[in-house]
């Protein structure tokens, strides 16, 4: 599929999704959000894609924020619709994708950009990365899940400080906060993402999908995550991957999982 605002490449069981608006520092507009929705959905449905890596084009920005020019004159109702539709189309889709998503944060990840990175299953960053939620400096608040996912990742106090000051943290501070898992040079960012993807791909994609569902259940209102874990654990026993994994272990060989 041809996209205007993103590029999609498939190689070695990895789908690479790159936001490609360098002149706008890869800012998210409605068209880009729609294209990302389609790309993530397609990757999840592709039986050969075992990991998705999301990044931004160029070396300045992952995503520098939302495209403010699109909503500067919005009413209350249009503002609500913007946030609700964005969460439904992209951010919740990424967070709940059955295929693992690694965000490779290169440069600025601000506002909607940080929200997109936080929706990924985990994040790695280049040492020149800067992250923040500057929305209150514009008289608005994060609307794509930022007020919910940031406290989950860094704790309430740090999240409150980051949101209220509208300040940025650098890559090492983000690592200290637990906002990213690893920091490396810009040159080594993609090789590190691929190395982590390689480790993931040795394991059962069926079991990983179940684990994602179980972990995410802990953050859903009214859902008992322990019960979801029990259910997903039980379901694992009925899969070909379980048969292969246990047989391989007992026979002292490496498993060859069937895949999605």
> What whole-number distance in Å separates Cα of residue 34 and Cα of residue 87?
11
The CA-to-CA distance between both ends of the chain, in Å, stands at 22
> What whole-number distance in Å separates Cα of residue 175 and Cα of residue 230?
32
Which of the residues 115, 187, 220, 244 is marked catalytic?
115
Q: What is the 3-state secondary structure (H, E, C) of 157-180?
A: HHHHHHHHHCCEEEHHHHHHHCCC
- Across 102-120, b (16+ Cβ under 10 Å) vs e yields bbbbbbbbbbbbbbbbbbb
Q: Is 135 a catalytic residue?
A: yes
Please list the residues that pair with 49 across neighbouring strands.
none
Q: Is 4 a catalytic residue?
A: no
Which of the residues 9, 70, 81, 135 is marked catalytic?
135
Helix then strand then coil, in percent of the chain rounded to 5, is 50, 15, 30
What are the backbone dihedrals phi and psi of residue 52, each rounded to the nearest 5 degrees, phi first? -115, 130
What are the backbone dihedrals phi and psi of residue 193, each rounded to the nearest 5 degrees, phi first? -60, -40
Q: Which of 67, 60, 146 has its CA nearest to residue 105?
A: 60
Q: Which of 95, 134, 92 has its CA nearest to residue 113?
A: 134
User: Is-contact 87 144, C-beta < 8 A?
Assistant: yes
Active site (catalytic) residues: 115, 135
């Amino acid at each position: 599929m041809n996209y205007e605002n993103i590029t999609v490449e498939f190689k070695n069981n990895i789908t690479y999704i790159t936001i490609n608006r360098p002149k706008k520092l890869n800012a998210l507009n409605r068209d880009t959000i729609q294209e990302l929705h389609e790309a993530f959905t397609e990757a999840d449905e592709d039986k050969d894609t075992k990991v998705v890596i999301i990044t931004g084009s160029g070396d300045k920005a992952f995503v520098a924020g939302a495209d403010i020019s699109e909503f500067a004159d919005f009413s209350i109702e249009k503002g609500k619709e913007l946030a609700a539709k964005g969460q439904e189309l992209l951010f919740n889709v990424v967070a709940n994708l059955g295929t693992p998503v690694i965000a490779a944060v290169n440069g600025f990840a601000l506002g909607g950009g940080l929200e997109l990175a936080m929706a990924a299953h985990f994040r790695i960053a280049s040492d020149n990365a800067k992250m923040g939620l500057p929305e209150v400096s514009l008289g608005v608040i994060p609307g794509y899940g930022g007020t919910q996912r940031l406290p989950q990742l860094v704790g309430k106090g740090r999240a409150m400080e980051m949101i209220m000051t509208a300040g940025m943290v650098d890559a090492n501070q983000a690592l200290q906060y637990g906002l990213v898992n690893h920091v490396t040079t810009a040159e080594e960012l993609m090789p590190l993402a691929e190395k982590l993807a390689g480790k993931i791909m040795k394991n059962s994609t069926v079991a990983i999908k179940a684990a994602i569902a179980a972990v995410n259940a802990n953050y859903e209102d009214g859902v008992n995550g322990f019960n979801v874990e029990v259910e997903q654990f039980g379901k694992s026993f009925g899969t070909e991957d379980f048969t292969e994994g246990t047989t391989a272990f007992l026979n002292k060989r490496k498993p060859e999982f069937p895949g999605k």
